[in-house]
Structure 1
Amino acid sequence: MRYPPIFQVAAADPGVTALLGVRPMRLYLFGLAPPKPKAPYCVWQVISGAPEIFLAGRPDAEAYSLQVDIYAASAEEARATGHAIEYAVELSATVTGYSGESLETETGLYRYSFDVDWIVQR
């Protein structure tokens, strides 16, 4: 199984790196963010996926749905960071939905969330 190249695509976009940094870039696979990362930061995870279905032969692609969550000190910063990531990935993938916004009571950070569908060639 291959994973969608969200990190590589985001890291190549100057709008994203201006907000999330470069070394390190604060874009983490779920569960791998350090304790209390500097905001803004982003986490992503695969929420579903499956190989393409063919009547004969091995599939040559896999389709994934990702959930992307941005955390920031303000709602404006969370939205701006989310829009930058959306802009970066939309030439390689499809933004399929917006999953809401919230204020995290434990951290005091604002969350902006969206979903992306990505087809990955094997």
Structure 2
Amino acid sequence: MYAPIFAVCSSSAQVKALIGSNPVRLYPFGEAPQGVVYPYVAWQGFGGQPENYLGTLPDADSYNTQVDVYADTAASARAVAQALRDAIEPVAYVTSWRGEARDQETKKYRFSFDVAWIVQR
């Protein structure tokens, strides 16, 4: 009952070239380990629903996911975001570019976007 973001993104050679393969640095929100290597990606679900029908069980679920890329440089954050976009778009929809920011305390860069999934059961 979750968007298949890890399975989709970790199967991309381009994504793994940028965020690693052992481990793939793609974490559910709040699960990145202390001292994680940059760049890395965090994601969180923020809504969704089953495709309900009268008289039969749902055959698909929809999910909304926010994806946040964290990196040492703006160029690195953008490169990872592009690789993620290229991996995701064949199976889901990027629905919003949330923008870029730089954390005042850590000086790390963030690129954020949203994805809408429709997943067959």
TM value normalised by structure 2: 0.96
Give, in whole Å, the separation in 1 of the partners of 2:88 and 2:104: 29
TM value normalised by structure 1: 0.95
What's the CA shift for 1:78? 0.3
**Unpaired segments of 5 or more residues in structure 1?**
none
Within 5 Å, which residues of 2 pair with 1:84-99? 84-99=83-98
What's the CA shift for 1:108? 1.2
Which residue number in structure 1 is paired with residue 99 of structure 2? 100
Q: Which ranges of 4 or more aligned residues in structure 1 deviate by more than 6 Å?
A: none
Letter in 1 for 2:102: L
- Equivalenced residue count is 121
Give, in whole Å, the separation in 2 of the partners of 1:81 and 1:5: 18
- 3-state SS in 1 of match to 2:31: coil
Which residue number in structure 2 is paired with residue 120 of structure 1? 119
**Unpaired segments of 5 or more residues in structure 2?**
none
What's the CA shift for 1:60? 1.0
Within 5 Å, which residues of 2 pair with 1:2-21? 2-21=1-20
- 3-state SS in 1 of match to 2:34: coil
Deviations 1:9-52 (A, max 9, x none): 11111110000000111100111100131110000010111111
Give, in whole Å, the separation in 1 of the partners of 2:83 and 2:52: 33
Give, in whole Å, the separation in 2 of the partners of 1:84 and 1:50: 27
Letter in 2 for 1:9: V
- 3-state SS in 2 of match to 1:16: helix
Identity fraction in percent: 49
Which residue number in structure 1 is paired with residue 73 of structure 2? 74
Within 5 Å, which residues of 2 pair with 1:20-99? 20-99=19-98
Give, in whole Å, the separation in 1 of the partners of 2:94 and 2:35: 28
